[in-house]
A and B are shown apart, each in its own frame.
Chain A
Amino acid sequence: ETGVTQTPRHLVMGMTNKKSLKCEQHLGHNAMYWYKQSAKKPLELMFVYSLEERVENNSVPSRFSPECPNSSHLFLHLHTLQPEDSALYLCASSPTHHNEKLFFGSGTQLSVL
């Protein structure tokens, strides 16, 4: 148990659907992250939030829309996804966004049909 909880664990959606991924951390951290992990590719940073403010957006397509209502919760809203977006989406947190070790959730395995 890492202190970071992601739901759902698995998600199957069609290209016209709208869904949301949820992440919650119980560690009192101020920074939260979304990463994408595709088969045979490195973990890719998508977004970084610090104290509910987005500090990094790594050229992620607008069909991925993050939301951070408070420092404990992070969402990733998905709409009109493509099959190549199928991947494991990992949430992480750290005490601050300055070079500290990350605590990862177990991820949401997303399949886009």
Chain B
Amino acid sequence: GQNIDQPTEMTATEGAIVQINCTYQTSGFNGLFWYQQHAGEAPTFLSYNVLDGLEEKGRFSSFLSRSKGYSYLLLKELQMKDSASYLCAVSRPGAGSYQLTFGKGTKLSVIP
């Protein structure tokens, strides 16, 4: 089966840094996505890692280690609007297409 683990909830302070971890065990791996989902809204794309290492994009960075089955999303200079769920998803081959297998998501609460 496919297994993607991430913490259920996290709380962090405005202006701080937070790291959201994701570990995965899947049959097949093509890359790893992070999505952000505010309550009642559509998930939106944050980052995509296919090679080992760190990808930086403004206040958000994402890291991947394929050999360890591990990724993290790093959010710097936290703002109140960053309160949302963060979804880790692994892209892997399916029967007819590449499929995204999602974790349950990490609900991040940013407090003043």
Assess whether A56 is in contact with B104, with CB atoms less than 8 Å apart: no
CB < 8 Å: which of A56, A104, A105, A107 contacts B96?
Answer: A56
Assess whether B87 is in contact with A43, with CB atoms less than 8 Å apart: yes
Assess whether A90 is in contact with B42, with CB atoms less than 8 Å apart: yes
Interface of A is mostly: loop
The interface residues of chain A lying within 8 Å CB-to-CB of B103 are: 42
In the complex, B109 has a CB within 8 A of chain A: no
In the complex, B60 has a CB within 8 A of chain A: no
The interface residues of chain A lying within 8 Å CB-to-CB of B30 are: 99
CB < 8 Å: which of A42, A44, A98 contacts B97?
Answer: A98
Most chain A CB atoms below 10 A, which of B30, B31, B98, B104: B98
Complex-state Cα separation, A45 to B93, whole angstroms: 13
> What 1/0 flags go to B69-112 for Cβ under 8 Å of A?
00000000000000000010101001111111111110000000
In the complex, A4 has a CB within 8 A of chain B: yes
Complex-state Cα separation, A90 to B45, whole angstroms: 14
The interface residues of chain B lying within 8 Å CB-to-CB of A99 are: 30-31, 91, 98
In the complex, B33 has a CB within 8 A of chain A: yes
- Given the known inter-chain contacts A42-B104, A43-B102, A99-B30, please indicate yes or no for A55 contacting B97, CB distance below 8 A: yes
The interface residues of chain A lying within 8 Å CB-to-CB of B1 are: none
Q: Smallest CB–CB gap between A4 and chain B, Å? A: 7
Assess whether B105 is in contact with A42, with CB atoms less than 8 Å apart: yes
CB < 8 Å: which of B35, B99, B101 contacts A56?
Answer: B99
Nearest to A40 among chain B residues (CB) is B104
- Given the known inter-chain contacts A40-B104, A42-B4, A42-B105, please indicate yes or no for A56 contacting B44, CB distance below 8 A: no
Assess whether A106 is in contact with B95, with CB atoms less than 8 Å apart: no
Complex-state Cα separation, A48 to B27, whole angstroms: 19
The interface residues of chain A lying within 8 Å CB-to-CB of B89 are: 43
Q: Smallest CB–CB gap between A40 and chain B, Å? A: 7
Assess whether A104 is in contact with B97, with CB atoms less than 8 Å apart: no
Nearest to B33 among chain A residues (CB) is A101
Which 7 A-B pairs have CB atoms at the shortest separation, nearest pair first?
A55-B96, A97-B97, A99-B98, A104-B42, A43-B102, A42-B102, A101-B45
